Amino acid sequence: MVKRIRLPMARRPFYREADTRSAMVSPLELSTETAVAGTRHDTGSAVETPTGRVGRKARGRAAAIAGNLLLLGLSIAFVVALFETFLAAFPQFQVQANEGKYLFCSPPYTRHVEHPVFGYTESPGASYFERNSRLDPWYYVRVNEEGFRDNQSHDGERVIVLGDSMLRGTLVNEHETFASLMNQWHPDMGFHIYGVGGYGQANTLELYRDKGATLPHRLVIQQFTLPNDLDDNVERAKRAGDGIEVDFEKITAKTTESTIFLLEVHKFIWRVSSLYRIVYNFSIRSHFENWDARRDIDNALELTRRLLVALAEAARANNADLLLLAIPGWPEIVGRDDGMAPERQREMLRAFVSETANAHLLDVTPRLVEADPSRTYGVIDKHLTPYGHFLVAEVLDQWMEEGWHGGPGGIASEREFVQQPAISPDCSLTDDYLEWVQPI
């Protein structure tokens, strides 16, 4: 029997495209194609150099990094959106924008005007309602013809009071400020209030030099705000030899186009993002606020001391005593470090008073520490509340009665805090609100 054997079919030769091409090109052309294979991925390239492999891997890594960055960005955006949604749903956890709202009742419709002698004042004749956040109350502001929030009847012996927004009474009505309470408790005296938000001793020194000689008085009170007076002074004055030089244009000269742009960006994000306000308040603000003083606290302390020396000399020329009324900020009361070295400030103030015959120091911090800070400082705006002003007035009243050699020498009366009703931002009621102050 014959076996039939099936032979395998002959396979066609297999040639890669590169092989056939290599048979068709000259050696010079082949070497050229091989040389560029590392930089061009061609399906017809038979040879991939090490450089080509490295380039392909690098492109792969770059694509992976880009993808990871995109994923990270989307994740951050999702988390931010989640936080913003939560804060919008639960506004009690928000840090409020704290942008002042103003309802002007008559011209002028501006809050401040420049002054050639002491920098600026409030706009004379201004009448408006003010609120610093939606969680803090409205209060009414009427500015007198001199540019200060002082509409009281001044009878009896004059006392000049100098200061900033703490004295002016930001956050409260005029009849609730500590100086107004002193007028109520001492009808035989007239406390003249010269306080504007942002004033430091550079401002009040020039103001007192201008006003002091025209108002017979035996006492001038310089309200001293520990959280920010040093910074206000550095912005407007500088050391010159053994003295000082006041320059109110310094504060505007340092504002450049770049800082204005950054401020506008900050304000925009502050308005639209609740999360940014939280991050800024707890992580950023403490590092940048009052930077002019903080970057050289020794200079700020010495400059302020010199300003106080000049103020005491001016008071002595008017046969008057100088009382420094030190008021702490909310951060110190709740145990937060604002970078302004309040204890070093107190050391400077105590040393100044010990070396100055007509100077006295009254620090209201111990009294405010005893109280609940939620009652003495605002909800969002951390100026003093009506109760905070009442406590300051109590301490000042006791000093004038019992501690000042020029006082009556009696025992201070016990005072009772009376919570006043909230006011409505209604321009038809301004005369009624003003009557709360004028009969004093």
Judgement on whether residues 120 and 254 belong to the same structural domain of the protein: yes
Which range is least confidently modeled, 45-49, 50-54, 313-317, 345-349?
45-49
CA pair distance 59, 193, nearest whole angstrom: 72
Judgement on whether residues 218 and 302 belong to the same structural domain of the protein: yes
Please state, in angstroms and as integers, the Cα–Cα distance from residue 415 to each residue in 102, 160, 240, 395, following that order: 33, 23, 46, 11
CA 126 and chain centroid, separation:
25
Judgement on whether residues 172 and 318 belong to the same structural domain of the protein: yes
Domain membership flag for residue 321: yes
Position 269 pLDDT exceeds 70: yes
Judgement on whether residues 72 and 201 belong to the same structural domain of the protein: no
Judgement on whether residues 114 and 81 belong to the same structural domain of the protein: no
Nearest of 172, 228, 227, 169 to residue 203 by alpha carbon = 228
Residue 30: the pLDDT is: 37
Q: Which amino acid is at 284?
A: I
Judgement on whether residues 144 and 109 belong to the same structural domain of the protein: yes
Single out the residue in 93, 112, 135 at which a domain terminates: 93
For β-strands 157-163 and 189-195, DSSP reports them as parallel
pLDDT digits (tens, 9 = 90+) for 278-331: 776 666 655 666 778 888 999 999 999 999 999 999 999 999 999 999 999 999
Domain membership flag for residue 175: yes
pTM: 0.76
pLDDT digits (tens, 9 = 90+) for 19-41: 434 434 444 343 444 444 444 44
Strands (E), 228-345: 237-240, 243-246, 321-327
Single out the residue in 93, 123, 142 at which a domain terminates: 93
pLDDT digits (tens, 9 = 90+) for 125-155: 999 999 988 889 999 999 999 999 999 887 8
DSSP structure class, residue 200: -
Domain membership flag for residue 3: no
Position 351 pLDDT exceeds 60: yes
Judgement on whether residues 391 and 306 belong to the same structural domain of the protein: yes
Residue 166 near residue 81 (C-beta atoms within 8 A) = no
Residue 400: the pLDDT is: 93
**Which domain CATH number covers 191?**
3.40.50.1110
Domain membership flag for residue 367: yes
Residue 359: the pLDDT is: 98
Domain membership flag for residue 348: yes
Residue 275 near residue 84 (C-beta atoms within 8 A) = yes
Judgement on whether residues 263 and 405 belong to the same structural domain of the protein: yes
Judgement on whether residues 175 and 216 belong to the same structural domain of the protein: yes
Judgement on whether residues 271 and 410 belong to the same structural domain of the protein: yes
Q: How many domains does the chain have?
A: 2
Number of H helices, E strands in the chain: 19, 12
pLDDT digits (tens, 9 = 90+) for 223-253: 999 999 999 999 999 999 999 999 887 554 4
Judgement on whether residues 48 and 84 belong to the same structural domain of the protein: yes
Judgement on whether residues 106 and 64 belong to the same structural domain of the protein: no
Residue 427 near residue 130 (C-beta atoms within 8 A) = no
Residue 307: the pLDDT is: 98
**pLDDT band of 440, cuts 50, 70, 90:** very low
Parent domain of 261: 102-435
Nearest of 154, 178, 183, 170 to residue 395 by alpha carbon = 178
Domain membership flag for residue 234: yes
